[in-house]
Amino acid sequence: MNNYNNQKQRKLIFNFIIFILISIVIIIISYGTYKIFSKQLILRAYEDLKQISNMKIAYIQEILEDQHHDINIFVALPTVRMILTSNNLSQENISNLDNIIDNILKNEYQRVIIVNTEYQIIAPTKLQNINNLDSNEIIALKEAIQSREQKFVDIHWSNGNLVYGIAHPIFSNGNEYDINNNVIGAAYFEQNVNQNLFPILLDTKNLFNPSIETLLIKRENNEILFMTPLMFNKDAEPLSYKITIN
């Protein structure tokens, strides 16, 4: 009888050990499978986010290329060059240029400004003082004239609006690639980011996950400046929130 009980006890212990071993094997296999699939899911999510990022970058580049095209056409207009070179401007020529600028403003642009080489505003005539411009804009116009190159004005606040712009030199014969061509002024094209950039850049309607957040950031020394609104921090206005890199 004792023998039987001992055998039964040993069998139970053996079965229990087998159960424990099988459980450990299952846990190891499950953990390994989880690690493999979780890694694949992370990689897939990374690739999806990378595609979204590339799509947004391409959109920004397209906007800047369109603006570059618009400003190139504008600075080559004979009326623009005549305004900057003529000593005796007729009211008709001034009105024509103001009308051209008014038509451009209807096409997404918030401001179009022309200055001469003495940094005086030539058009539009309703804006007479260059000091009414933001310091970033004044610097860009001066650098465009001095360097003979186009200058980009990064996103900034101006007159209560979040804007960015391009300052482009204006040449006497319209050919910017002629090294003997004189710079006679500069033009500045400004756009409101809430009208043409942020609506599509921050749009999540067509994304697979509406919680995905697109951020436009800029490095400033050892800090990262957030240039776009934050989805999960409504109090953080654009250009107001920073984090330290380290």
160-215, pLDDT tens digit by residue? Answer: 888 999 999 998 876 555 666 789 999 998 888 888 777 777 766 655 566 677 78
pLDDT higher at 203 or 4: 203
pLDDT band of residue 2 (cuts 50, 70, 90) is low
Whether 245 and 222 have beta carbons less than 8 Å apart is answered as yes
Q: In what order do the strands lie in the sheet with 217-220?
A: 217-220, 223-226, 241-244
- Which range of 25-34, 39-48, 149-158, 236-245 scores highest in mean pLDDT? It is 149-158
- Over residues 57-96, the pLDDT tens digits come to 888 888 888 888 888 888 888 888 887 887 666 666 677 7
Does the pLDDT of residue 1 top 70, yes or no? no
pTM for the whole structure: 0.72
